[in-house]
Amino acid sequence: MSDLQRRDFVAGAAALAAATGIGLVAGDAVDAGDPSFMNNVPDPLLANKELPTFKYALEKSKGRVIGQSYGKEATVEQLPISKGLAGVSMRLEPGAMRELHWHATAAEWAFVNEGRVRTTVIDPQGRAETNDFEAGDVWYFPRGHGHMLECLGNKPCHFILIFDNGYFSEFGTFSISDWLGHAPRSLLAKNFGVPEATFDGFPKTEVYFARGAQPPEKPANPLQGLRLPPQTHKYRLLAQAPAVDNKGGRLYMVDSSSFPIAKTITGAILDLNPGALRELHWHPNADEWQYVLDGRVSVTLFGSHGRFRTETLERGDVGYIPQGYGHSLENIGERRCRVLIGFNSGVYESIDLSQWVAGNPVDVLATNFGKPPATLAKFPRRSIIIAPR
Ligand code: MN
Ligand code: MN
């Protein structure tokens, strides 16, 4: 760092300190040219004596309803801690379509919970893919890529959308009817090379959920013919073998190593048998967004400085774990519970408590806890991941 750069940097840090009301004690670190101290400026939301709530009853909210279709969202507005990820629960009735739209600020990952869904997505190279999904399947659309979702068949469908930005709102997307409804007809006529009258009767405002006939079982070809992208947007998560399968339950995982297009989101389905525990762990590289598909689960959060908080999540509730925070999930219900989990990284990383302990010399552990080595020698030799009741 040159002197000039350093002066700017120190001035910037001082301004930041003034703006946040946090004293600049670490003068030495600044002089040493170490910018990492900036990561220790506390987030006001997470810097209090108590941890904030990390639970939101998503399914109990009203959301946006048109006919028998709805979208309910959890963003930083509903759940302020969830800055890294947002989510939506969406139901479409037969014949309903979430109209053509894109998101300026987030990629979209989805898990189909019930029914069948058809999607079409286009990339900046003009290549489009139409896919049909069933329960247990997953899709991923990169940020900004245009897409639509429609219910297939004569039964409603339900899916959970996860976005890699907690400030993203499903009700702030760029919809095709909103755009065409507000552009002059002369502009549209010139754009498409068709008469202005073509646009008579087109919607004037955002349609959001379009309602029409049930789609054909086999989709019609697009106007340009088939021009498929090199990477598929579809992954059959529950059709794969689970990453973990033991007495306590199962963990299904999909990240970019098996689903290459999903570069910014990893997804998982965690099934815990009654009384089972997804052990204490943390994620070095990602925030975690949770949605309870079934059952009741007790989630704990450790935030350093002696801060520890527990929330009980039930079916339809959302939970959130900030990056690097310690946490666990325990099934406290009578039957198996199922939790959908999303991470805002395309690479899955976790460090489990049992693994951490197993990786340290026994004398180190003995000193750390002030106990005889024989006590620590009884601890597990490998990662537990899911502990049975
Ligand atoms: Mn979307
Ligand atoms: Mn986790």
Q: Is the dihedral of CA 211, 214, 219, 222 positive or negative?
A: negative
Q: How many whole angstroms from 376 Cα to the centroid of ligand 2?
A: 25
Q: How many whole angstroms from 327 Cα to the centroid of ligand 2?
A: 7
Q: Are 120 and 221 in contact (CB under 8 A)?
A: no
When pLDDT is cut at 50, 70 and 90, the band that residue 42 belongs to is: confident
Q: How many whole angstroms from 283 Cα to the centroid of ligand 2?
A: 6
Coil vs helix vs strand at 325 = coil
Q: Please count the other Cβ atoms lying within 10 Å of the Cβ belonging to residue 13.
A: 19
Q: How many whole angstroms from 141 Cα to the centroid of ligand 2?
A: 23
Q: Which of the pair, 141 or 23, is modelled with greater confidence? A: 141
**pLDDT one-digit tens code per residue, 153-192:** 999 999 999 999 999 999 999 999 999 999 999 999 999 9
* Helical segments of 249-382, H only: 353-358, 362-369, 373-376
Q: How many whole angstroms from 214 Cα to the centroid of ligand 1?
A: 20
Q: How many whole angstroms from 123 Cα to the centroid of ligand 1?
A: 14
In angstroms, rounded to a whole number, what is the distance separating the alpha carbons of residues 98 and 184?
Answer: 24
Q: What would the two tokens of residue 227 be?
A: 């021009």
Average pLDDT over residues 92-110: 98
Strand 244-246 with 249-254, pairing: antiparallel
Q: Are 266 and 343 in contact (CB under 8 A)?
A: yes
Q: How many whole angstroms from 147 Cα to the centroid of ligand 1?
A: 7
64 is catalytic: no
Q: How many whole angstroms from 17 Cα to the centroid of ligand 1?
A: 38
- List beta partners, residue 129: 121
Q: How many whole angstroms from 13 Cα to the centroid of ligand 1?
A: 38
Q: What would the two tokens of residue 53 be?
A: 């709530």
Catalytic residue among 116, 147, 278, 338: 147
Catalytic residue among 91, 99, 101, 278: 101
**pLDDT one-digit tens code per residue, 258-283:** 999 999 999 999 999 999 999 999 99
Looking at the CA of 286, which ligand is closest? Answer: 2
Q: Are 235 and 259 in contact (CB under 8 A)?
A: yes
Q: How many whole angstroms from 121 Cα to the centroid of ligand 1?
A: 10
Q: What would the two tokens of residue 296 be?
A: 């009741």
The per-residue pLDDT of the chain, averaged, comes to 92
In the block, which residue shows the tokens 């959301």? 63
Check pLDDT > 90 for residue 35.
no
Return the percentage of the chain with pLDDT > 70, whole number: 90
182 is catalytic: no
Looking at the CA of 287, which ligand is closest? Answer: 2
327 is catalytic: no
Q: What would the two tokens of residue 151 be?
A: 């219910």
In angstroms, rounded to a whole number, what is the distance separating the alpha carbons of residues 314 and 321?
Answer: 16
Average pLDDT over residues 63-85: 97
Q: What would the two tokens of residue 353 be?
A: 């408590």
Looking at the CA of 98, which ligand is closest? Answer: 1
Q: Spell out where 105-246 has E strands.
A: 108-114, 116-122, 128-133, 138-141, 146-152, 157-163, 174-175, 209-211, 234-235, 244-246
Q: Do domains 55-235 and 240-387 have the same CATH topology?
A: yes
Which pLDDT value is given to residue 10?
41
Looking at the CA of 329, which ligand is closest? Answer: 2
102 Cβ contact list (under 8 Å, min separation 6): 144, 145, 146, 147, 173, 174
Which pLDDT value is given to residue 21?
41
Q: What is the DSSP letter of 154?
A: S
59 is catalytic: no
Which pLDDT value is given to residue 293?
98
Is the domain spanning 240-387 CATH 2.60.120.10? The answer is: yes
Looking at the CA of 289, which ligand is closest? Answer: 2
Check pLDDT > 80 for residue 137.
yes
Catalytic residue among 108, 129, 279, 330: 108
Check pLDDT > 60 for residue 251.
yes
Per-residue burial over 68-88, b if 16 or more Cβ lie within 10 Å, else e, is ebbbbbbbbebbebbbbbbbb
Catalytic residue among 150, 170, 206, 330: 170
Average pLDDT over residues 9-23: 42
Q: Are 210 and 204 in contact (CB under 8 A)?
A: no
Length of the chain: 389
Catalytic residue among 91, 93, 103, 250: 103
Coil vs helix vs strand at 27 = helix
Specify the CATH superfamily of domain 55-235.
Jelly Rolls (2.60.120.10)
Check pLDDT > 70 for residue 20.
no
Q: How many whole angstroms from 301 Cα to the centroid of ligand 2?
A: 10
Q: Are 143 and 103 in contact (CB under 8 A)?
A: yes
Which pLDDT value is given to residue 43?
81
147 is catalytic: yes
Q: What would the two tokens of residue 385 be?
A: 């991941």
Check pLDDT > 60 for residue 92.
yes
Looking at the CA of 385, which ligand is closest? Answer: 2
Closest CA to 102 of 163, 143, 150: 143
Return the domain boundaries, the chain: 55-235, 240-387
Return the percentage of the chain with pLDDT > 90, whole number: 88
How many helices (H) and strands (E) the chain has is answered by 7, 26
Check pLDDT > 50 for residue 25.
no
